[in-house]
Chains A and B, each alone.
Chain A
Amino acid sequence: MNQYEPIIRIQNLHKSYGDKEVLKGIDLEIYPGEVIGYIGPNGAGKSTTVKILTGLIEDFEGNITIDQMHLKDQVLPIKAIMGYVPENAELYDVLSPLEYLDFVGKLYGMDASVITERATRLLTAFGLGESFNKRMDTFSKGMKQKVLLVSGIIHNPKILILDEPLSGLDANAVIIVKELISLLAKEGKTIFYCSHMMDVVEKVSDRILLINKGRIVANGTFEQLKADHGNSLEHIFAKLTGHAESSGSAANIMSAFE
């Protein structure tokens, strides 16, 4: 594919729940191999965007093209090239990691032997080598999150959508995931990274998109954003989402005790 042809193109994306409009016209172009940091306050429309991209929400207005296919018409081939890691570590935890990955891999139409081989190698790489056959209901949140990460990449997707992928992970695992993200990007994979953790977004992303109240309010590299709005991502975030005087709210909190 042409390097300059966007792999994800979103045009005028609207989504409402009842009469509440959550996305108010999103326009985006994402290129192959890019790592996009997608940030915004709670309720800004982040997870709605992600759910639309992953095919979880099917009724929306606007145009989305992924790998030159229209999301509305060719949702299955698009799902086949995407990997998704949801937040909150939701999985069938009475299964063992191998059983879960076997199930997921088969949903993607993979061969049982390929699944087993990849799952074994990926789990070992994530340090879960001794827990292949143990039920995940005894796992910590971080361990489950690792299994989810593996389940998101086991079918070798072109696009990887990560929703708070670091939640529950310890410092070592965070380092692995950060490295993994840049290695995957080097291989030409596109990564859509949603998070609240500004410091990580700042470091891993090629480009940062800031969404607020259903609109993209900033779009650029960290350097560009810094030049335009301020010196740290937290600062930029606060300024663009209307909480510039956040120190003021902390002061208000303190004043309650007076």
Chain B
Amino acid sequence: MNNFIIRFILLFSPLYRKIGCNTAQLEVILRTKLLMDDRRPMTAFGGKAKKESNYSSWINFLLLMVMGCVLLLFLFSISQSYLSFTIYFGMFMSMLCLSLIADFSVILLDSKDNFILLPRPVDDRTLSMSRILHIGISVFKQALGLALPGLLFTTVSRGGLAGFIFVAQMMIATILSVLFVNLFYLVAMRLVSLQRFKDIVAYLQIFFSVLIFALYYTMPTLLESALVQQLDFTATPWLWLTPSAWISGLQEIGEGHWSLLACSLSLMAVLSPLLALWLMVGKFTSGFNAMLASLQTSDEVMPKEEVRPSRYSLGDRMAAVLTTSSLENAGFGLVWRLTARTREFKIKVYPSIAYVAVYFFFMFFVRNKGNAGMSWAERWDDALAQHSYLFIFYFSLFTLLTVFQFITQSEKYKAAWIYFVAPVQQPGLLMSGVLKAAFVKFYLPFTTVFAALGLAFIGPSVINDVLLSMAVGGIAAILICLFTVTGYPFSQPIKKTEGRFLANLLLIGLISAIGFGHYLVVKYEWLVWILMILAAGTFFLLLHYFKKESWEKAEFRDE
């Protein structure tokens, strides 16, 4: 694919020469960059563990096509074509923007350019042209992948002209997305430091995956709801202000509806990308390049921000109360702090925390589709009466699975030499600190919130249920840690594959079975109390042995 793309791009060589670019250099730079893109480990989802990837861009392309298929939902579930295209392109543009923001952060913030290209006799025009084209290619690949299902659908269901218009729509949407991403970068980079900026990108990625999860659960219900189906596009002026509405106007024209609204929206659709291009090429590039060049020069070393105020933070106080030895304390403190500050950990784990909240919402308000007539209050009462709220206690344990799956991984895994140089007498103690920190930080908050809600809406009878589920949670945490954690925290390189699949599956089965068991006995209060005492006893016994575990599987990685 790359070869083809480059040949296509070089068809315009005379044009580049006219602007003052050196086409030979341009070709070499682009070829090398595309080659590197193909070998770049994928950020979006897991590939093979060790084997370096040669087809990253292809696999990414396929993945985007799958997402594009999901977007089709909007095209065929909403009856008015105006509205369906508006929502479709709205989603298309937001997905493209988010994907581009994540992708650009890798391409643009690659400071290697500063060391490899800038010292060479490559002139500024060639350099910025290569950058623009490189980004253009990556944008094109992504937009095409995302739009292909929509294009096929539109062509088949509406005919060739609609398909042709769809291509134009896609191009406009893409150009506008690039403008938005550009604006985002300009603003963000002017306002915050590089470190903060990477954090922002990370948070956006977290937000993105939560959004997709939430949409997956709520979209079908939402789309069927009267709110969306009865929305009249032509009578909703605020919708006309969205770029996706302008783009959808083109399809109206294609169908021969020459209304004033359709004409003016279409005019906007044609003019806005021209304006966007003028802004990006004329106004933004110079400032942008200057900013990129100033990034990550090694002289900028004095820390300016991120002063931590007090030494006795919540984590320290928790550690003091919950740990009994300095080794345990060390494990607790390290996990408490690093989980809050390690970007890659947050990207992977925080979404799963949000899933619990989304799932909570889903369980109480969206489920029970059979009784579509139920009001939200009725659904809430129903969930309480059937004790199905119990499952949320157990569902939050799945967060711990994710936490323990990623807690050993870090970009800074080489810093783990310290575990192996230090005279760690009882690794189990260190790991019990890790366990406690993870439990307190990623499980207890849920339980506390749910317990408070339970007390407020159900009453004291929920106390034994909370305690039982907590004790079970503790047991589960120990088992998860024992069976899925293969090393000290933040001591292994980042893996793409989900290791320990079978162990995870078994643990999920076990947790679900226990949750279901609890559901069966919930009516017998005394039984719940007895089970609670038994479970708590088991928990403390397990913890005692957990501390003696030798953790021989934690190995020093010397790579």
Of the listed stretches B247-255, B284-292, B332-340, B541-549, name the one at the interface; the rest are far from the partner chain.
B332-340
Minimum CB–CB distance from A254 to chain B (whole Å) comes to 22
Residues in chain B near residue A218, CB distance under 8 A: none
Minimum CB–CB distance from B477 to chain A (whole Å) comes to 22
Q: Taking the complex as formed, is B375 at the interface, i.e. its CB lies under 8 A from any CB of chain A?
A: no
Residues 406-432 of B at the A interface (beta carbon under 8 Å): 410, 412, 414-415, 417-425, 430
Contact A111 B303 (CB under 8 A): no
Minimum CB–CB distance from A133 to chain B (whole Å) comes to 5
Minimum CB–CB distance from B551 to chain A (whole Å) comes to 14
CA distance A156 to B309 in the complex (A): 29
Of the listed stretches A1-9, A73-81, A177-185, name the one at the interface; the rest are far from the partner chain.
A73-81
Whether A86 contacts B334 in the complex (CB less than 8 A), given A79-B423, A106-B327, A135-B341, comes out as no
Contact B422 A79 (CB under 8 A): yes
Minimum CB–CB distance from B415 to chain A (whole Å) comes to 5
Contact B330 A103 (CB under 8 A): yes
Residues 275-322 of B at the A interface (beta carbon under 8 Å): 298, 301-309, 311
Interface size on A, residues (CB 8 A): 43
Contact A110 B326 (CB under 8 A): yes
Task: With a 10 A CB-CB cut-off, give which of B303, B308, B329 has the most chain A CB atoms.
Answer: B303
CA distance A82 to B422 in the complex (A): 9
CA distance A80 to B424 in the complex (A): 9
CA distance A49 to B192 in the complex (A): 45
Residues in chain A near residue B421, CB distance under 8 A: 54-56, 79, 82, 84
Q: Taking the complex as formed, is B556 at the interface, i.e. its CB lies under 8 A from any CB of chain A?
A: yes
Pick from A90, A133, A137: contact of B417, CB below 8 A.
Answer: A90
Residues in chain A near residue B424, CB distance under 8 A: 76, 107
Minimum CB–CB distance from A83 to chain B (whole Å) comes to 9
CA distance A137 to B424 in the complex (A): 26
Contact B419 A107 (CB under 8 A): yes
Pick from B337, B342, B414, B423: contact of A76, CB below 8 A.
Answer: B423
Whether A131 contacts B326 in the complex (CB less than 8 A), given A77-B423, A84-B421, comes out as no
Residues in chain A near residue B303, CB distance under 8 A: 131, 134-135, 138-139
Contact B306 A135 (CB under 8 A): yes
Q: Taking the complex as formed, is A13 at the interface, i.e. its CB lies under 8 A from any CB of chain B?
A: no
CA distance A88 to B558 in the complex (A): 13
Contact B422 A107 (CB under 8 A): yes
Q: Taking the complex as formed, is A143 at the interface, i.e. its CB lies under 8 A from any CB of chain B?
A: yes
Residues in chain A near residue B415, CB distance under 8 A: 90-93
Contact A90 B298 (CB under 8 A): no
Taking CB as reference atom, which chain B residue is nearest A83?
A: B421
Q: Taking the complex as formed, is B195 at the interface, i.e. its CB lies under 8 A from any CB of chain A?
A: yes
Contact A56 B298 (CB under 8 A): no
Task: With a 10 A CB-CB cut-off, give which of A54, A106, A151 has the most chain B CB atoms.
Answer: A106
Contact A138 B195 (CB under 8 A): yes
Minimum CB–CB distance from A126 to chain B (whole Å) comes to 15
Whether A94 contacts B337 in the complex (CB less than 8 A), given A109-B425, A111-B326, comes out as yes
Mask of A43-65 contacts with B, CB within 8 angstroms, 1/0: 00000000100111100000000
Whether A92 contacts B326 in the complex (CB less than 8 A), given A108-B423, A135-B306, A140-B301, comes out as no
Contact A51 B558 (CB under 8 A): yes
Q: Taking the complex as formed, is A238 at the interface, i.e. its CB lies under 8 A from any CB of chain B?
A: no
Whether A56 contacts B425 in the complex (CB less than 8 A), given A94-B341, A138-B303, A143-B301, comes out as no
Q: Taking the complex as formed, is B74 at the interface, i.e. its CB lies under 8 A from any CB of chain A?
A: no
Residues in chain A near residue B539, CB distance under 8 A: none
Residues in chain B near residue A80, CB distance under 8 A: 423
Contact B342 A134 (CB under 8 A): no
Residues in chain A near residue B420, CB distance under 8 A: 54-56
Pick from A57, A99, A138: contact of B301, CB below 8 A.
Answer: A138
Q: Taking the complex as formed, is B490 at the interface, i.e. its CB lies under 8 A from any CB of chain A?
A: yes
CA distance A119 to B189 in the complex (A): 35
Taking CB as reference atom, which chain B residue is nearest A17?
A: B558
CA distance A55 to B418 in the complex (A): 11
Residues in chain A near residue B311, CB distance under 8 A: 98, 133
Q: Taking the complex as formed, is A28 at the interface, i.e. its CB lies under 8 A from any CB of chain B?
A: no
Residues in chain A near residue B417, CB distance under 8 A: 56, 84, 86, 90
Contact A90 B423 (CB under 8 A): no
CA distance A108 to B305 in the complex (A): 31
Contact A96 B423 (CB under 8 A): no
Whether A112 contacts B308 in the complex (CB less than 8 A), given A77-B423, A90-B414, comes out as no
Taking CB as reference atom, which chain A residue is nearest B418?
A: A104
Residues in chain A near residue B327, CB distance under 8 A: 106-107, 109
CA distance A9 to B39 in the complex (A): 47
CA distance A82 to B418 in the complex (A): 12
Whether A56 contacts B306 in the complex (CB less than 8 A), given A80-B423, A137-B195, comes out as no
**3 cross-chain pairs, A with B, having the tightest CB-CB distances, nearest first:** A106-B330, A138-B303, A107-B422
Q: A94-B342, A103-B418, A134-B306 are in contact. List 8 more A-B contacts (CB 8 A).
A: A55-B420, A92-B334, A92-B412, A95-B337, A106-B333, A107-B330, A108-B422, A134-B303
12 inter-chain pairs at a CB distance below 8 angstroms, sorted by A residue, are: A56-B558, A57-B558, A76-B425, A77-B423, A82-B421, A86-B417, A95-B334, A95-B337, A106-B329, A106-B330, A108-B423, A133-B309
> B residues near A, CB below 8 A?
195, 298, 301-309, 311, 326-327, 329-330, 333-334, 337-338, 341-342, 410, 412, 414-415, 417-425, 430, 490, 556, 558
